[in-house]
Amino acid sequence: MVSSRVSVGVSVVAAALALWGCSTQPYYVAKPEPWRADEEQACLTSGAIRESSFLQSRSALGGPGEFCGAHRPFEMSAADQGRVSLKPAAMLRCPMIPAVERWVQLVVEPAARAHLGSPLTELKVAASYSCRPMNHVSGGRLSEHGHANALDISQFHLADGRVITVKGGWNGDVRERAFLHAIHRGACQEFTTVLGPEHDALHHDHFHMDLARHGRDGMNRICK
Ligand SMILES: [Zn+2]
């Protein structure tokens, strides 16, 4: 369906330096990436997602001349028809939504029942849309968060009241560890980038998941 694999010409424009806000704020490096708008539009017209009380469209993020943003982002406050809350609600571009839904329904909910014996009720959203450089390092490449194409999750709440944290559980209790490692592995089936505590110290307390394109054909995946 999505034919944007056809490259829209390798841009000869040198990486543009986007100065964001006043000089004391971090700035990022970005370049034109026409595939992003094509991919978002293809998702919007595909009928892959439907608005509901848990998924509401919002006005465009970013603006002319800005690299950050999304044409028609969505605020997602729950997955699996309201059974699993996202708190606070995540601001995401269209292609992220089916990926998050599949991860929650096919991976996280079954893993919570299998490893922890209780239904999943809530995900703690540590970050979604944020116009900033990667890892908040000034001068770095624009993060996928800047395109509303990334989601960070730090906690998992269960119906019995337990809260499983990435920070405490990754190397913690054997059942929590099994749960967290299983859903990290499962995320790699749905997202093109998955970073957890084993990637680096910045990810010691959350999973980062995004739909960036990696490699020359954009088909590579990063799962760490
Ligand atoms: Zn992140």
How remote is the CA of residue 13 from the centroid of ligand 1, in Å? 27
The predicted-structure confidence for 22-43, as pLDDT tens digits, reads as follows 444 568 999 889 999 999 999 9
DSSP state of 172: S
Q: Which secondary-structure segment (H or E) carries 136?
A: none
CB within 8 Å of 116: residues ≥ 6 apart: 158, 162, 164, 175, 176, 179
Q: Average pLDDT, stretch 37-64?
A: 94
Distance 18 CA to ligand 1 centre (A): 20
Task: Find the 77 Cα to ligand 1 centroid distance in Å.
Answer: 18
Mean pLDDT (whole number) for 39-49:
96
Nearest of 58, 130, 54 to residue 87 by alpha carbon: 54
Residue 103, burial from CB neighbour count under 10 angstroms (0-12, 13-18, 19+): buried
What pLDDT is stored for residue 175 in this prediction?
Answer: 98
Q: In angstroms, what is the span from residue 71 Cα to ligand 1's centroid?
A: 20
> What's the 22 CA to ligand 1 centre distance in angstroms?
23
Taken in order 68, 71, 74, 80, the sign of the CA dihedral is: negative
**Which residues have a Cβ under 8 Å from the Cβ of 35 and sit 6 or more positions away?**
4, 8, 213, 218
CA of 199 to the centre of ligand 1 (A): 12
Handedness of CA 90, 199, 220, 130 (dihedral sign): positive
CA of 150 to the centre of ligand 1 (A): 6
Tell me the pLDDT tens digit for each residue of 167-219: 999 999 999 999 999 999 999 999 999 999 999 999 999 999 999 999 988 88
Q: 224 pLDDT exceeds 70?
A: yes
- Say how far apart CA 92 and CA 75 lie, in whole Å: 6
Distance 88 CA to ligand 1 centre (A): 15
CA 138 to ligand 1 centroid distance, Å: 16
- The pLDDT tens digits of the residues spanning 130-172 come to 999 999 999 999 999 999 999 999 999 999 999 999 999 999 9
What pLDDT is recorded for position 4? 35
State in Å: Cα 31 to ligand 1 middle: 20
CB 85 within 8 A of CB 121: yes
Distance 177 CA to ligand 1 centre (A): 21
Give me ligand 1 centre to Cα 148, in Å: 10
| C-alpha span between 79 and 108 (Å, rounded) | 11
* Per-residue model confidence (pLDDT) at position 221: 94
Amino acid making up residue 124: K
191 alpha carbon to ligand 1 midpoint, in Å? 12
* Alpha carbon of 196 to ligand 1 centroid (Å): 10
